[in-house]
Chain A
């Protein structure tokens, strides 16, 4: 079946709210999922995994476990980027405002592809980012220039030992400067594949024109989760609607 972007946003927000997310979190999480799906990152598979986990536990946010002038380490405590991605990006960009660049490592977290939307949004405020993480036997690298509307997405073979559930983010105001400054930490093997901005934009335009294809079972799952925030209707409650 097909759903609209707005409809998907509303459904996701309700589902996340039902799982205990607070207003800021459920808006951000829904934004991340919708952006990823509409730009061709097949986020629904990741969402199913995330829901399976998030539905079993109260929301867990990241802890700041290490901090110096230009570096942070956040411990995601096994949670999803849907919950701690915004904190990570906000933290690193707040540091860049006070200096030239910063690095952040978010350890012990899942669903890292969702971070792309947060990077894209922050890039509109003139921050540049490079993010990388291990995905199976490859390394994903996402980079976006300050002010750019879409990132560059590439996967490489690994030559470094990446922690399996770690996400590294480097931030500054100039993409080239970041790549240069953090070059030793951005060394990868050979390029495996890339997903071009043109492809992302084509996916997005198609979803706006024709809607977003979603598996009916997932849609039903979101619907069922969202139902938890609804209150049973009674004769008395109808009075609260003007009856």
Chain B
């Protein structure tokens, strides 16, 4: 396993990076304000595909005049060959449901290693459309499904069939032709384990790379299918979708509570992702030590204006998100004015980015602060992009049974002060519980003492577990001050899990998410958004505090762009102004 050590990229420069403290970064509201960055998995995947010029062909493209049938894409990546197998089915609109509990979809897909022969294709045809109700094997890396957008798909096909390009404003309202509702990997349903992917398939040996690729290929297919249907309907008048509109079309995504437990159950991985992002930020702030050039200030200004436009183009019915977008736009406008008025002076300022981030922290909202952090990271690809190799970590807990219990108490007081500060005797502090529903094991939230299932609560309330453990260790320490953790566990075996977690996370820089996740007013949507930001999505559109719609790969290069000299600046997509062709 590669381990990243903190130093600036110039090996002669031993400057210690000024990382933001966990007490600031690991607040749930801040994590829920993150945007995609250069380290997000979609961004790193696209950079890799473009730079390595992956070759993608379609040896099977067997769609009927209504767009139903089978497609197999063959992917020649740098280190291996893969097959992306897609089944397009008729779906009664009444059965179109984006929830995890759905059992029918417009499209179902599988990403497989190697090429696929007839026998395997038959096997996949019998299982992939069933998704969770089917079984696949270790030749499959990812299983996914998607539903058409009722608002855009038919409109786009109709426009193309009549020889017109679709109205960009209509595309902007939705942003995609298909929504994916799940992309399963990591060994689920008989698929290849992450360990196999990581050790055997270098092309996808980064977290969620294969899953993201599956969504990218869905985007490619969605546009190819639209072109296909238009030409089937009106062979003489149909036109192909304009390349600039294609780039502006992404893939829709709905993410609900199913994603939330992942962040709690993989604390070391989340810590690693955040540590790399924070390292990137600290690196670019340090890079401004002796000032920055005016061209860079102009790039920041242009990016700022782009974000303002991007946010103005987001349509969301969620009042909180809508207000947040408006506020961020107003505050970014102030940043724009500042850059316009003082650009020449700022260029010579030492640590200008430090001044900017500090000013933002003191005067602007958290969401604006995190947009600015993302923009700063964008300015220095040569300093930041190498961190993408360090987004994975060995997740095994490292217990220390020889630790004296008195030291364990100190560790808890030091690293989990946020948990000890919560008053769990208040009803609202334990007003929520998490459980798994019998319906596809979907995680759900219940109200304490009201809803069924408290006896089957998922152990996601880490703060409360730490508090209970701390109280027990205090009692134990009073009676047996010189004993160690191993003896404590023998006497109190039910605490072995939380003690292991405390000891493990205490060795990490950022540790656990600092929030009481069983509070009555907990906002799980922040958890979802944090993870989605690392995926690289944009256009967050919360539908409640429990699930969020968003867009994947909107603005990203197309397969036809692979092998070209890419300017990797497709974050914060904005409406295209069509060029000819």
Contact = CB atoms under 8 A, between A and B. Distances in A.
Contacts of A228: 456
B493 A242 contact: no
Interface in A220-243: 227-234, 236-238, 240-243
A3 B190 CA distance: 5
B579 interface: no
Interface in A101-148: 121, 125
Contacts of B446: 231, 237, 240
A86 interface: yes
A97 B438 CA distance: 46
Nearest to A93: B401
A194 interface: no
Given A7-B188, A242-B546, A232 B452 contact: yes
Interface in B399-418: 399, 401-402
Given A91-B486, A210-B138, A241 B194 contact: no
B383 interface: no
Contact of A240 (B200, B401, B445): B445
B437 A22 contact: no
B452 A97 contact: no
B221 interface: no
A4 B188 contact: yes
Contact of B456 (A28, A90, A97, A230): A230
A4 B486 contact: no
A243 B194 CA distance: 32
Interface string B156-199: 00000000000000000000000000000011111111111001
Interface in A154-171: none
A211 interface: yes
Interface stretch (B207-215, B293-301, B496-504): B496-504
B193 A242 contact: no
Contacts of B187: 4-7
Contacts of B573: none
* Interface bracket on A: 35 or more
B495 A24 contact: yes
A138 B123 CA distance: 46
Nearest to A64: B490
B257 interface: yes
A23 interface: yes
A241 to B, nearest CB: 5
B487 interface: yes
Interface in B414-447: 435-439, 441-446
A209 interface: yes
B459 A23 contact: yes
B196 A209 contact: yes
Contacts of B398: 125
Given A2-B190, A94-B402, A231 B438 contact: yes
B493 A22 contact: yes
Interface string A69-84: 0000010000000000
Contact of B135 (A1, A74, A241): A1
A24 B186 contact: no
Contact of A22 (B256, B497, B546, B547): B497
A94 B137 contact: no
A209 B487 CA distance: 40
Contact of B186 (A6, A87, A95): A6
A62 B490 contact: yes
B529 to A, nearest CB: 14
Interface string A27-70: 11000000000000000000000000000000001111000000
B543 interface: yes
A28 B496 CA distance: 10
B493 A90 contact: no
Contact of B493 (A4, A87, A209, A231): A87
Contacts of B257: 241-242
B91 to A, nearest CB: 20
Contact of B138 (A63, A211, A233, A241): A211
Given A7-B188, A90-B399, A25 B256 contact: no
A177 interface: no
B498 A93 contact: no
A93 B453 contact: no
B484 interface: yes
B547 A242 contact: yes
Contacts of B490: 61-64, 74, 87, 91
Nearest to B441: A230
B119 interface: no
Contact of A237 (B137, B188, B444, B491): B444
Interface in B479-494: 484-487, 489-491, 493-494
B437 A6 contact: no
B122 interface: no
A23 B256 contact: no
Contact of B484 (A94, A209, A237): A94
A191 interface: no
7 contacts: A4-B193, A87-B496, A90-B485, A94-B487, A237-B453, A240-B445, A242-B546
Interface of B: 99, 135, 137-138, 186-196, 199-200, 256-257, 396-399, 401-402, 435-439, 441-446, 451-453, 456, 459, 484-487, 489-491, 493-500, 543-544, 546-547
Interchain residue pairs A-B with the least CB separation, the first 7: A24-B497, A4-B187, A24-B496, A6-B187, A23-B497, A231-B453, A242-B546
